[in-house]
Amino acid sequence: MEHKVTDAEFYKVFAIVSVIIVGLAIFIAILSNVFAGHASSASENYKVEIQSDTNQRIAPSGKTNLASNPSIKQEVIVASVSAKKALTGQEVYNTVCMSCHTSGAAGAPVIGNNNQWSDRLSKGEDTLYANAINGIGIMPAKGGVSSLSDNEVKSAVDYILSESN
């Protein structure tokens, strides 16, 4: 015997299966809300976690309180900071200028190349000093070391010129 399903039976089974699927979806949504956390949105949880990680990475690793150390006197620290020894032209060149002016990187005139320096020297030493102190083209001011004094930069220029003549 063959059993044929009528349209009414099909719609009844279809309605029951549909209600079960919708009910299951609602149940899953409620469970996910309960286990997802109590933030108003999922992106807020992520933002809080990122901010927390960022704050942890940029926090100082330790704190030094020199004032609480009785063996260090504050006057000594101030005196040592203010009594900085000036660098010679060769020292400035070797620590700051050498990387570009030895290889000619980024079009920097090479130390010892009279042609490149004579063109620049024809504009005057004051122009060379100003360019070295304030920067020119790709070269940053004071070679990128802002702690150098103007006199230290000038002595480095003088050293380079003496080596190039």
- On whether residue 81 sits in a domain, the answer given is no
Encode pLDDT of 37-64 as tens digits. Answer: 655 566 666 788 888 888 888 887 766 6
- On whether residue 62 sits in a domain, the answer given is no
Domain at 115, CATH number: 1.10.760.10
Instruction: Enumerate the H helices of 86-143 as residue ranges.
Output: 89-92, 98-101, 114-121, 125-134
Encode pLDDT of 93-150 as tens digits. Answer: 888 888 787 877 777 888 887 877 777 778 888 888 888 888 887 788 888 787 888 8
Domain count, the chain: 2
Are both 104 and 156 inside the same structural domain?
A: yes
Are both 95 and 158 inside the same structural domain?
A: yes
Q: Record the pTM.
A: 0.48
Q: Tell me which of 63-67, 76-80, 142-146, 150-154 is least confident.
A: 76-80
- On whether residue 132 sits in a domain, the answer given is yes
Are both 43 and 103 inside the same structural domain?
A: no
Are both 37 and 104 inside the same structural domain?
A: no
Are both 93 and 138 inside the same structural domain?
A: yes
- Separation CA 8–CA 19 (nearest Å): 17
Task: Fill in the amino acid letter for 141.
Answer: A
Supply the range of the domain harboring residue 36.
7-57
Are both 99 and 156 inside the same structural domain?
A: yes
Among 15-29, 44-58, 63-77, 147-161, which range has the highest average pLDDT?
15-29
- On whether residue 67 sits in a domain, the answer given is no
Are both 102 and 151 inside the same structural domain?
A: yes
The shares of helix, strand and coil residues in the chain, as percent rounded to the nearest 5, are 70, 0, 30
Encode pLDDT of 132-142 as tens digits. Answer: 888 887 788 88
Q: Tell me which of 9-13, 14-18, 103-107 is least confident.
A: 103-107
